[in-house]
Amino acid sequence: MAFKTDQEAFWAGEFGTAYIERNQGDALLAANLDFFGKALRQARGIRSCIEFGANIGMNLKALQLLHPGLDSHAIEINSAAAEQLGRLVPPSQVHNLSILDFSPERHWDLALIKGVLIHIKPEVLPQVYDKLVSSTQRYLLVAEYYNPSPVAIPYRGHTDRLFKRDFAGEIMDRHPQMQLLDYGFAYRRDPSFPQDDITWFLMEKR
């Protein structure tokens, strides 16, 4: 698989595979159930979803419990993660490729990206924003590290692998049809259901 950026190769390779072991388990599932229950409280009629950068499907597993019968689709660059994801989502609905190579051929009620935009090369973010907006027919949930101005920070001993900025604001500026519906913050020191200091934004296509 040929990649356009160093960040894609990084997540498709050994580092991305090692990430699988750090991000699974019942405690994470419980935290995700709490997270999506709050983040999607203003959303109605979600019957289909596509997640950009789904890893092994811990987010989709929670969404399927909250929305039984959910038609789930996913994009995942790491082949080992995509293989495990195919046990949760029908394999034909798992796209084992880079987000940059994905071309949406339909619309979903919800497009989701959580903890992924922060790892994408900033120069190609507009392409990803366009794909997110093109994929949803109603809701877009973006859950990432927030910073009012763009900044790069070290990530597990690596540089140029984690970036913080106002992703949702940039999406709404680029696509005015996306209107803010709700937003919130999930704290890593929450005593019951911790997340990784994620700020989430729920947008609706108008």
Neighbours of 46 (CB within 10 A): 18
146 SS3 class:
strand
In degrees and rounded to multiples of 5, residue 182 shows phi and psi of: -165, 160
Burial of 188 (0-12, 13-18, 19+ CB in 10 A): exposed
Tell me if 201 sits within 8 A of 183, measured CB to CB: yes
Which is nearest to 79 in space by CA: 184, 8, 178? 8
- Distance from C-alpha of 73 to C-alpha of 171, rounded to nearest angstrom: 22
pLDDT of 23 reads: 65
What is the widest separation between alpha-carbon atoms in the chain? 43
List per-residue pLDDT tens for the chain, 206 residues long: 677 787 877 767 666 577 666 666 789 899 999 999 999 999 999 999 999 999 999 999 999 999 999 999 999 999 999 999 999 999 999 999 999 999 999 999 999 999 999 999 999 999 999 999 999 999 999 999 999 999 998 877 666 778 999 999 999 999 999 999 999 999 999 999 999 999 999 999 99
| Residues in the chain, overall count | 206
Tell me if 137 sits within 8 A of 145, measured CB to CB: no
* Domain spans in the chain, listed from the N-terminal domain onward: 6-205
The CATH homologous superfamily to which domain 6-205 belongs is Vaccinia Virus protein VP39 (3.40.50.150)
